[in-house]
Structure 1
Amino acid sequence: MGFSQALSGLRAAAINLDVISNNVANSQIVGFKSSRAQFADIYANAEVGLGTRLAGVVQDFSDGNIETTDRGLDLAVSGKGFFRFESAGEIIYSRNGQLTMDRSGYLTNASGARLTGYPAGIDFGGQPQVMQIPSVGLPAYATNSIQATFNMDTRSAIVNRGAVPFDPANANSYSYTNSVTLYDSLGTPHQSQMYFTKTAINTWEVRLVRDNEVAPEIGQLTFDGNGLLDSTSGLDAFTFAPPNGSDPMTVSMELEGSTQFANEFELAEIFQDGYVSGTLMQVNINELGEIVGTYSNEQERVLGTIALANFQSLEGLQPAGDNGWRETTESGQPIVSVPGQGQFGNIMAGAVEASNVDLTQELVAMIIAQRNYQANAQSIKSQDEALQTTMQLR
């Protein structure tokens, strides 16, 4: 009698129920991917088939919905790519981007695996490294450049430099002044003044004074007949010798866009690149996977970039538990890059990728699997009744 066919059907239905139940149990798990049991018949050249067997369990790697959390270290990949984690020397790939920063500055998931990427200064394309946020602060940076845009009042009187030497205390020795704060290599701020003196038609003398120390260099601006800046000279190296032990300072001035019109003196914009030292206050991650540190001195620095990986055959990945997978020979070697490059999606911070399990579909599949189990059980019952009838023949 054909009990074996019905028994194989019972086993298949039970396995199918196990797979469906696992999907339902993980339907609310971030980054979880649902699975489907695939079955094949057993024939082996028999006149009647010998039943069914499990051909494999295949995972569905379609994207889940993106859900916002408003937590900066919750990350989702919008598109292709897996986060790459290192755990006990093993590389694990996951779509679960719920991260925390431990006391050593490592970005880890709930299992303690550490996120990998490219630290600042490391070129993309090499071997990703474990990402560690540096605990040291940002050192002070001496001012090297002043970028500003002015309008010089062409109506100003020409100052005869031979008769009136430059003197910051004498307002008649210059035409216009404006202030700027400069920083030395120790981060000490210095109140400084930029002085502009009209020395000829369309020609202006430029001086820079730091804490009453007059730089020996003299710059020059020349405007054309339309009031536009025609040329500059001597603006690339105003030197100072701070007395507080900091390094000597060399400051350039970039005044592109300045004009000479018959309007009041006006400062349109100004920027200098120096700053005091600062401590790390906050870490954010942008859509390109760049880990951006914000410091107490209002500076921002890219501390590293998250690495993403993808595979030629996702179905060949081996589940590793904890929402992770391992590469196998069937999956092929990982393709590693950074978010937003090539085939890889962008990073969404403050969001996570929900499970791609469709509960409605799973519950319907569970009913079908249950009915299939009952049908195979009924088949065994029918086989048993037929066998009893045969044994009762006289």
Structure 2
Amino acid sequence: MGFSQALSGLNAAAINLDVVGNNIANSQTVGYKGSSVQFADVYTGALAGQGTRVAAVLQDFSNGTLEATGRSLDLGINGNGFFRFTQAGEVVYSRNGQLTLTADGYLQNSQGARLTGFPAGVGTGGQPVELRVPAGAMNAVATSGVEMSLNLDATVDSVDRAVIPFDATDSDSYSYANTGTVYDSLGVQHTMTTYFTKTADNVWEVRVAVDGNADAANVGELVFNNNGSLNEPASTFPVYGFTPGGGADALSFDFSFDGSTQFGNDFSLDSLTQNGYAAGALVGITFDEDGTLIGNYANEKSQVLGVISLANFRNPEGLTAAGDNVWTETGASGQPLLGLAGIGQFGTLESGTVETSNVDLTRELVDLIVAQRNYQANAQTIKVQDEVLQSAVNLR
């Protein structure tokens, strides 16, 4: 029996050395989780017991340290959760967020597993899909609204329209003008000029021209209160229409003059914005803390391309390690709980970082010495048992 006890100890010690050695080997592996061995004695009614066995090898899923890399496609989870990937038709989970962008736009790790998430605008109610960055340009959007805030000089003289009709080429037929930019449905930029004419005390006529062509049918009117603030209910803001040509749709947009004033100061344009833009090629992608994948385009616009889905488990220690920094679901782990970063039990995402291995190298080296001594002690037990047996054989 002594030999079997020592042999069981050697086998258990060898497995312990394997586990410690594997931890040390992966001390620099991104997202790696260290393992530890749990031993159990073998006791089946024998007086002295029958040795030991390895009851389980458990992984420690405590978080590693986030280390900055400066690379935008490196992602680290600050808190709980796993990235969800698809690999060879199977769903796998990982803490390694070192991603690359494939030629066809998929986000995947170095082993070819593709990152999954929710399509843009769907949210957690949808089914996770492989996230893909479209190669096409962002479509142009025609201007449909213009917001302008300005001050109109209350001291200027009124223009009598019965005497002086409006003429864009005659500066005496209007009081003030400014220019801006609008876009048609093809993303072609056009020059918009807005003309303001004081026609009576606290009343201003508004006309709009695009590329020098005025919309004569629609004339707006700004009415101000005696304190210089805009009286919006009394004002009219028509929709201005133009035909840009070149195959583009007819262009029409309305105006908002919120915050405009009429004081005895010089004319001034405080702000001018419009909601149209030209088409733009993709120039890069970024990630928000909540896992939102954002495409950035050459027209200085951005749009949401999807949201990374994170997964968590009731019992992460029940996951099965499948190699290549991934785990698979088992009955012991429970079903994955999907969600978004930063909500509920899920940690936030940190772009430009990776999670280092949670292996404490100093502790592993100490454990290695202990495991080695354990192996040597069991080997010594076999030696002693052999000497005892030899002594019994030599009895006469």
Q: Provide TM-score, normalisation by structure 1.
A: 0.97
* Equivalences for residues 106-121 of structure 1 within 5 A: 106-121=106-121
The answer to whether structure 1 residue 32 and structure 2 residue 11 are counterparts is: no
The answer to whether structure 1 residue 332 and structure 2 residue 334 are counterparts is: yes
- Per mean C-alpha deviation after superposition, the further-off stretch among 348-357 and 201-210 is 201-210
SS of the aligned residue for 1:190 comes to strand
* Letter paired with 1:265: F
Match of 1:64 in 2: 64
Match of 2:170 in 1: 170
1:31-66 CA deviation, whole Å, 9 max, x = no partner? 111000111111123322211111111001111111
Measured after TM superposition, the shift of residue 258 of structure 1 is 1.2
* Letter paired with 2:155: R
The whole-number CA distance in structure 1 between the counterparts of 2:165 and 2:340 is 60
1:301-328 CA deviation, whole Å, 9 max, x = no partner? 1111111111111001110110000011
Pairwise CA RMSD: 1.4
Match of 1:248 in 2: 250
Contact 1:125 1:336 in 2 (8 A): no
1:279-311 CA deviation, whole Å, 9 max, x = no partner? 111112222211111111111111111111111
Contact 2:160 2:199 in 1 (8 A): yes
Gaps of 5+ in 2: none
Contact 2:290 2:342 in 1 (8 A): yes
Contact 2:63 2:358 in 1 (8 A): yes
* Equivalences for residues 178-327 of structure 1 within 5 A: 178-215=178-215, 216-231=217-232, 233-327=235-329
Contact 1:69 1:350 in 2 (8 A): yes
* Letter paired with 2:280: G
Measured after TM superposition, the shift of residue 234 of structure 1 is 3.3
- Per mean C-alpha deviation after superposition, the further-off stretch among 137-146 and 321-330 is 137-146
* Letter paired with 1:335: L
- Per mean C-alpha deviation after superposition, the further-off stretch among 306-315 and 162-171 is 162-171
Contact 2:219 2:238 in 1 (8 A): no
Contact 2:42 2:52 in 1 (8 A): yes
Measured after TM superposition, the shift of residue 236 of structure 1 is 4.8
How many residues matched?
A: 394
SS of the aligned residue for 1:229 comes to coil
- Per mean C-alpha deviation after superposition, the further-off stretch among 364-373 and 194-203 is 194-203
* Equivalences for residues 95-106 of structure 1 within 5 A: 95-106=95-106
The whole-number CA distance in structure 2 between the counterparts of 1:22 and 1:190 is 65
* Equivalences for residues 65-144 of structure 1 within 5 A: 65-144=65-144
SS of the aligned residue for 1:195 comes to strand
SS of the aligned residue for 2:155 comes to coil
The whole-number CA distance in structure 1 between the counterparts of 2:239 and 2:331 is 61
The answer to whether structure 1 residue 158 and structure 2 residue 158 are counterparts is: yes
1:306-352 CA deviation, whole Å, 9 max, x = no partner? 11111111001110110000011111111111212221111111111
The whole-number CA distance in structure 2 between the counterparts of 1:194 and 1:117 is 46
- Per mean C-alpha deviation after superposition, the further-off stretch among 290-299 and 328-337 is 290-299
The whole-number CA distance in structure 1 between the counterparts of 2:199 and 2:337 is 64
The whole-number CA distance in structure 2 between the counterparts of 1:54 and 1:46 is 19
Measured after TM superposition, the shift of residue 225 of structure 1 is 2.4
1:236-266 CA deviation, whole Å, 9 max, x = no partner? 5111122322111111111111112211111
User: Alignment partner for residue 341 of structure 1, among 327, 340, 343?
Assistant: 343
Gaps of 5+ in 1: none
The whole-number CA distance in structure 2 between the counterparts of 1:307 and 1:206 is 51
The answer to whether structure 1 residue 377 and structure 2 residue 379 are counterparts is: yes
* Letter paired with 1:219: G
* Letter paired with 2:192: S
The whole-number CA distance in structure 2 between the counterparts of 1:133 and 1:7 is 57
1:1-36 CA deviation, whole Å, 9 max, x = no partner? 422111111111110000000001111111111000
- Per mean C-alpha deviation after superposition, the further-off stretch among 216-225 and 27-36 is 216-225
- Per mean C-alpha deviation after superposition, the further-off stretch among 40-49 and 358-367 is 40-49
SS of the aligned residue for 1:124 comes to helix
Identical pairs, percent = 53
Measured after TM superposition, the shift of residue 221 of structure 1 is 1.8
The answer to whether structure 1 residue 149 and structure 2 residue 149 are counterparts is: yes
Q: Residues 311 and 12 of structure 1: is their aligned pair in 2 closer, same or farther, counting only changes over 3 Å?
A: same
The whole-number CA distance in structure 2 between the counterparts of 1:147 and 1:344 is 40
Match of 2:18 in 1: 18
Contact 1:92 1:324 in 2 (8 A): yes
Contact 1:159 1:198 in 2 (8 A): yes
Q: Residues 136 and 145 of structure 1: is their aligned pair in 2 closer, same or farther, counting only changes over 3 Å?
A: same
Q: Residues 48 and 236 of structure 1: is their aligned pair in 2 closer, same or farther, counting only changes over 3 Å?
A: farther
The whole-number CA distance in structure 2 between the counterparts of 1:85 and 1:328 is 16
Q: Residues 236 and 363 of structure 1: is their aligned pair in 2 closer, same or farther, counting only changes over 3 Å?
A: farther
Measured after TM superposition, the shift of residue 387 of structure 1 is 2.2
Q: Residues 140 and 385 of structure 1: is their aligned pair in 2 closer, same or farther, counting only changes over 3 Å?
A: same
Measured after TM superposition, the shift of residue 125 of structure 1 is 2.7
Contact 2:148 2:258 in 1 (8 A): yes
